[in-house]
Amino acid sequence: MRIAVSGGGTGGHIYPALAFIKEVQRRHPDVEFLYIGTENGLEKKIVERENIPFRSIEITGFKRKLSFENVKTVMRFLKGVKTSKSYLKEFKPDAVIGTGGYVCGPVVYAAAKMGIPTIIHEQNSLPGITNKFLSKYVNKVAICFEEAKSHFPAEKVVFTGNPRASEVVSIKTGRSLTEFGLKENQKTVLIFGGSRGAAPINRAVIDMQEELKTRPYQVLYITGEVHYEKVTAELKGKAADNMVTKPFLHQMPEYLKSIDVIVARAGATTIAEITALGIPSVLIPSPYVTANHQEVNAKALSQHDAAIVLKETELSGEKLIAALDRIVMNEETLKDMSERTKSLGVPDAAARLYSIMEDIKK
């Protein structure tokens, strides 16, 4: 069996693709994969590290406002379709799956026009331009939020959840937080703002230090490598003893089973991980993403009382620690939010996506 995969731009598009690949490899050790991305994208480095064959095309995303740059994008799209067709003719895949990002546009469109069975996977509650365009041509559209359903042809939509959830759940033995100097049997909050960090979250954490010193829970605080030196300089002499600060947390899923509450952005990967494990959260949606989709993601949890949402414009150290207290300091609230969060998870998401692929191949 041969499968071509495309997805790029952010980890939120790449990691679900890798989780799907691992699920198929588990079922079919002899399967062959080809990953098509961009040469300068995050996907190239990540995919090649996993020893998956990688080919590239040149493509950029559309500007939402009228721009001459969009004319160039159309030309790149047409060239990308031509290049993708040559890759697909050579590789001869049984199916093609796109997991988001503008690189999927030429690849999945080319596959559909060649009559190859195709799927797109939409991680967010509010779909992007590329997946909306591709939904007219593909065989199936896999979604992670029911809120996304209305944006696609109803007869093509299948709810699968995010394959990243399956990967997180499959980790049987997590790593101990004691390697960071944290206590084994104390309630623990993980705070992070993505791989590069988030300055507003960092400011709120710095400002809540005096209050945090009096709390019975501990914090693992990930600043993002870009912000680490500046943040640690500001924390010098006033950091709470019950907080450990790190620039980045490699293999984060391996630590999640030791976490009681998460403070984070509301990206699709984060949502998939916390719902799969039932971790209550304080979500601070990034206002800098397309169509403000993180806020829609966050509301999908908050409306089920599975998360507290704080808008970045309203964020402060006082409000952040108040939200944490509300969850961590009340055992009944903690348990209830955990159950509600887990009820929204789809731990067999990768298997569901695999099942759809098998169906369209028939």
Annotated binding site for UDP-N-acetyl-alpha-D-glucosamine: 10-12, 124, 195, 294
**Quick one: tokens of 170?**
């499959």
DSSP-derived letter for residue 231 is: H
**SS3 for 159?**
strand
Torsion of CA 139, 142, 146, 151, to 10 degrees: -50
Q: Which residues pair with 157 in a beta bridge?
A: 141
**SS3 for 40?**
coil
**Quick one: tokens of 97?**
């799956």
CB 246 within 8 A of CB 222: yes
Q: Which residues pair with 218 in a beta bridge?
A: 188
**Quick one: tokens of 137?**
């041509």
Cα separation of 13 and 101, whole Å?
Answer: 7
Cα separation of 300 and 297, whole Å?
Answer: 5
Cα separation of 46 and 338, whole Å?
Answer: 31
Q: Which residues pair with 6 in a beta bridge?
A: 36, 98
Q: Which residues pair with 35 in a beta bridge?
A: 5, 54
DSSP-derived letter for residue 196 is: T
DSSP-derived letter for residue 172 is: -
162 Cβ partners below 8 Å, 6+ apart? 16, 19, 123, 144, 268, 269, 271, 272, 346, 349
Q: How many Cβ atoms sit within 10 Å of the Cβ of residue 339?
A: 12
41 backbone dihedrals φ, ψ, rounded to 5°: -80, 165
Summarize the annotated binding site as residue ranges.
10-12, 124, 195, 294
CB 16 within 8 A of CB 99: yes
93 backbone dihedrals φ, ψ, rounded to 5°: -75, 150
